[in-house]
Amino acid sequence: MSTVTRTAGATVEFRGLRRAFGATTALDGLDLTVEPGELLALLGPSGCGKTTALRILAGFETHDGGDVLVDGAAITSIPAHRRDAGMVFQSYSLFPHLTAVDNVAFGLRMRGTGKAERRARAEELLELVGLPQHAARYPHQLSGGQQQRIALARALALEPRVLLLDEPLSALDAKVRLSLREEIRRLQQELGITTLFVTHDQEEALSMADRVAVLRAGRLEQCAAPAELYARPATAFVAEFVGTMSRIPAERSGDGVEVLGRRHAVDGTLPADGRVDVLVRPENVRLTPAEDGPAQVVAASFLGAVTRLTVRLADGTTVKADLPTAEAAALPIGGRAELALPERPVLVDHRAS
């Protein structure tokens, strides 16, 4: 049984962090706090600055302004090898000439830890990640998932205050990725280590993280618990980046909007001018079979208990709706339907021109 102990968890703060590469701004005044012991996912499209933020925290990248603090102390002037952060990369980065146990113990050897102590520590960590029987194997004798577990154990060997994960699952196949993300989450909670997880995969972020920080063009759009981020996105960008959203043209009606023949209050701020769209998730769309309905079913995707239907409105707008599969059977391709939204405030955005 492993005797690896739980850590206290550090507080990490990005304060006004800025970084540019020539004319490209990677980080534009990032302000973000990671609470002790939480797993925070940095989510966003390629080029949004999430990996740059992680590399600055690790000491592998410099910054142009702002600061990074760990437990209240600025660390940006401290060399990478003294920052007490463990990092796991997408590419595993194991030493091919070392066995699994020696890969895990490598950092301890560089620190001058005695042979017996580092061997015992490495064996504990191999047990923690479920690979004690693979101690004598070399990287080429391990699967991708096993190699990534070894890389994770190596990152934990020095008992870092912060664990940094840079898209560690993206090179793995779907089944292994699912298993390993559950394993990483279990270990993170068991050890209580503050963890930053960079990913462009929204499913990974929502399923693993305590909170998710969505970045866009070097700025923080929203940071919230997964359920809040999904149900109450702060901006149209977050709404469309996290999960699936349909846009339905709407008309202004006082301080609300009229959409599909009904008036709705607005969740948030109504744009000051211009035409607007309502943003709606598939599970919030209601479809009812109707011979003369305004919506026509043009596609269906079976998802198990739910079937996702795509319908087209008279103006060419397409809307996705998730229905129980038994109900969706009454709406075949080419069938017509009435479409309605729940009677609650809706999120709106400027209509694309």
For the chain, give every residue range classified as CATH 2.40.50.140.
Answer: 246-350
What are the φ/ψ torsions at residue 308 (nearest 5 degrees)? Answer: -95, 115
> CB neighbours of 186 closer than 8 A, spacing ≥ 6?
none
pLDDT at 1 over 50: no
Tell me the CATH number for domain 12-236: 3.40.50.300
On whether the 246-350 domain is CATH 3.30.300.180, my answer is no
Residue 163 has pLDDT above 50, yes or no: yes
The model's confidence at residue 90, banded by pLDDT at 50, 70 and 90, is: confident
Residue length of the chain: 353
Say whether pLDDT at 122 is over 70: yes
Residue 5: the pLDDT is 59
* pLDDT(34) > 60: yes
Domain with CATH 3.40.50.300 in the chain: 12-236
Q: In sequence order, what E strands does 35-151 have?
A: 39-43, 65-70, 73-74, 85-88
Residue 160 and residue 111 in contact, taking contact as beta carbons nearer than 8 Å: no
What pLDDT sits at residue 312?
Answer: 97
pLDDT, average across residues 280-302: 95
The per-residue pLDDT of the chain, averaged, comes to: 91
Lowest mean pLDDT of 5-19, 31-45, 52-66, 298-312, name the range. 5-19
